[in-house]
């Protein structure tokens, strides 16, 4: 980096890559911007809108540019590994959209490469940048409710996300509710309890159903009970099969944390600002080529996890998360981003839930990546 400016490569120019690239062009420390995508139209539109300095369909050509200091990997879930490993070879700092990989052994290999080469790498878990979760975490860490004994988590999602996600790939075996989306709820709950002795999950028992989305190769829901090391119990439940007309554009989350001397109840369902109109409100999540089959006339404003678009761009947790990473690159200070180690842990736990669903038996945590791969038939 020269003169407190850095060069940034954004690999993947879709919905999330676009958001982070647009924020990069606004940031005073980004002195050079390159973008990449296998879809030339999507890439060229982003390059034009951000006045990118370089655009290519070949991520290796982009990573080899001498201007690049840091990389955002924002490709589809199944295609993270090669860009990450190529970035590690060049010694670039990394921001990786979750997961590190959709194969547990590849995830372990990616983590090992990052650690062995001393790469500063973070993983995109945007919920950590919502004010209510930041405040809740601090209260728990300060002992406001005493020792935690019970955690209850419920996530509801409009089915537009799995429909759009599965439409883009035939490799669907690991694109389950927990691996793709429930991982955000799981990460924020583990983050709330981070560093507290005895709060590491040691076993999970899970069940799932597939009446709605089974024909597309995924589950509708996953419901699980975790046992933590000190005996604390945690229920973690997600359904991403709610009807397209469900007012929650994407995500609604509730978390209850009970302690020996108090309780902390977090409502993040976004029902506080509601729009009802004769005009369709549109899907909250609309990647290229996806159109919702039914119109939505009621919307929970704020239920799109990255934030909300206004006259001057996107405002919300993804702006905070992205800009805080850009600041981290310049200042070298630590931030509350999920680490690569967190990302690997989260993948193993979510896949352990899927394994428990398949076997009908509890799974000990942390699971062995090879046992996960064999057990899930990957």
Q: Are residues 132 and 61 in the same domain?
A: no
Average pLDDT over residues 240-268: 95
245 vs 160: CA distance, rounded Å: 10
257 vs 130: CA distance, rounded Å: 17
pLDDT at 13: 96
Q: Are residues 82 and 164 in the same domain?
A: no
213 vs 236: CA distance, rounded Å: 20
CATH number at 41 reads 3.40.50.720
The pair of three-digit structure tokens given for residue 322, joined into one six-digit string:
């992205």
The answer to the question of residue 243 being in a domain is yes
β-pairing, 338-339 vs 251-259, is unpaired
**Percent with pLDDT over 70 in the chain:** 97
Q: Answer yes or no: is pLDDT of 295 > 70.
A: yes
Q: Which of 174, 202, 207 is nearest to 361 (CA)?
A: 207
Domain total in the chain: 2
Q: Are residues 54 and 33 in the same domain?
A: yes
The answer to the question of residue 362 being in a domain is no
Residue 317, SS3 per DSSP: helix
pLDDT tens-digit map of 218-235: 999 999 999 999 999 999
Asked if 184 and 251 touch (Cβ cutoff 8 Å), the reply is yes
Asked if 354 and 376 touch (Cβ cutoff 8 Å), the reply is yes
The answer to the question of residue 358 being in a domain is no
Asked if 348 and 190 touch (Cβ cutoff 8 Å), the reply is no
Residue 305, SS3 per DSSP: coil
pLDDT at 170: 75
| Residue 58 DSSP one-character state | -
CATH number at 238 reads 3.30.360.10
pLDDT tens-digit map of 115-167: 999 999 999 999 999 999 999 999 999 999 999 999 999 999 999 888 888 87
Residue 350, SS3 per DSSP: helix
Number of H-type helices and E-type strands within the chain: 12, 18
Q: Which residue has the tokens 């006339």?
A: 297
Which residue would you say has higher pLDDT here, 361 or 311?
A: 361
- Tell which phi-psi region holds residue 234, choosing left (phi > 0), alpha (psi between -120 and 50) or beta: beta
Could you give the count of Cα atoms lying within 13 Å of 212 in the half-sphere of its Cβ?
15
pLDDT at 3: 61
The answer to the question of residue 37 being in a domain is yes
Asked if 327 and 343 touch (Cβ cutoff 8 Å), the reply is no
pLDDT tens-digit map of 57-71: 999 999 999 999 999
Domain containing 106 equals: 6-126+320-338
The answer to the question of residue 370 being in a domain is no
The pair of three-digit structure tokens given for residue 316, joined into one six-digit string:
């919300």
The answer to the question of residue 140 being in a domain is yes
The answer to the question of residue 367 being in a domain is no
Sheet strand arrangement including 6-11: 54-56, 30-36, 6-11, 70-73, 93-97, 121-124, 338-339
Q: pTM, whole model, 2 decimals?
A: 0.94
Render the burial of 107-116: b for 16+ CB within 10 Å, e for the rest.
bbbbbebbee
Q: Are residues 156 and 300 in the same domain?
A: yes
Average pLDDT over residues 300-329: 93
Q: Are residues 134 and 249 in the same domain?
A: yes
pLDDT at 65: 98
pLDDT at 312: 85
Query: Residue 185 — very low, low, confident or very high, per pLDDT cuts 50/70/90?
Result: very high
How much is the mean pLDDT over the chain? 94
Q: Answer yes or no: is pLDDT of 79 > 90.
A: yes
pLDDT at 2: 54
Q: Are residues 88 and 236 in the same domain?
A: no
Average pLDDT over residues 92-112: 97
């Amino acid at each position: 980096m020269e003169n407190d400016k850095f060069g940034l490569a954004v690999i993947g120019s879709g919905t999330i890559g676009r958001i982070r690239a647009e924020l990069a062009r606004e940031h005073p420390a980004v002195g050079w911007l390159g973008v990449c995508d296998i879809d030339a139209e999507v890439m060229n539109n982003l390059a034009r809108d951000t006045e990118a300095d370089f655009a290519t369909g070949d991520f290796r050509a982009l990573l080899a540019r001498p201007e690049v200091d840091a990389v955002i990997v924002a490709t589809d879930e199944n295609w993270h590994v090669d860009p990450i490993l190529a970035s590690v070879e060049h010694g670039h700092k990394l921001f990786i959209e979750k997961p590190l990989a959709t194969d547990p052994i590849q995830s372990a290999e990616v983590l090992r490469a990052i650690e062995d080469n001393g790469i500063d790498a973070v993983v995109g878990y945007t919920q950590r940048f919502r004010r209510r979760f930041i405040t809740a975490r601090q209260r728990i860490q300060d002992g406001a409710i005493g020792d935690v004994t019970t955690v209850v988590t419920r996530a509801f999602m409009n089915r537009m996300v799995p429909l759009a996600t599965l439409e883009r790939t035939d490799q669907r075996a690991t694109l389950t509710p927990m691996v793709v989306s429930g991982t955000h709820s799981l990460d924020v709950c583990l983050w709330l309890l981070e560093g507290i002795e005895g709060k590491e999950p040691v076993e999970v028992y899970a069940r799932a159903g597939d009446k709605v989305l089974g024909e597309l190769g995924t589950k509708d829901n996953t419901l699980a009970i975790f046992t933590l090391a000190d005996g604390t119990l945690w229920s973690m439940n997600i359904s991403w099969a709610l009807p397209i007309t469900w007012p929650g554009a994407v995500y609604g989350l509730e978390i209850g944390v009970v302690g020996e001397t108090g309780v902390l109840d977090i409502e993040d369902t976004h029902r506080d600002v509601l729009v009802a109109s004769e005009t369709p409100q549109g899907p909250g999540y609309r990647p290229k080529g996806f159109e919702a089959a039914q119109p939505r006339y009621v919307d929970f404003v704020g239920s799109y996890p990255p934030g909300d678009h206004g006259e001057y761009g996107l405002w919300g947790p993804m702006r905070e998360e992205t800009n805080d990473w850009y600041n981290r690159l310049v200042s070298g200070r630590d931030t509350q981003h999920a680490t690569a180690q967190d990302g690997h842990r989260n993948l193993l736990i979510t896949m352990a839930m899927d394994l428990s669903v398949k076997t009908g038996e509890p799974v000990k945590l942390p699971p062995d990546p090879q046992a996960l791969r064999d057990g899930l038939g990957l």
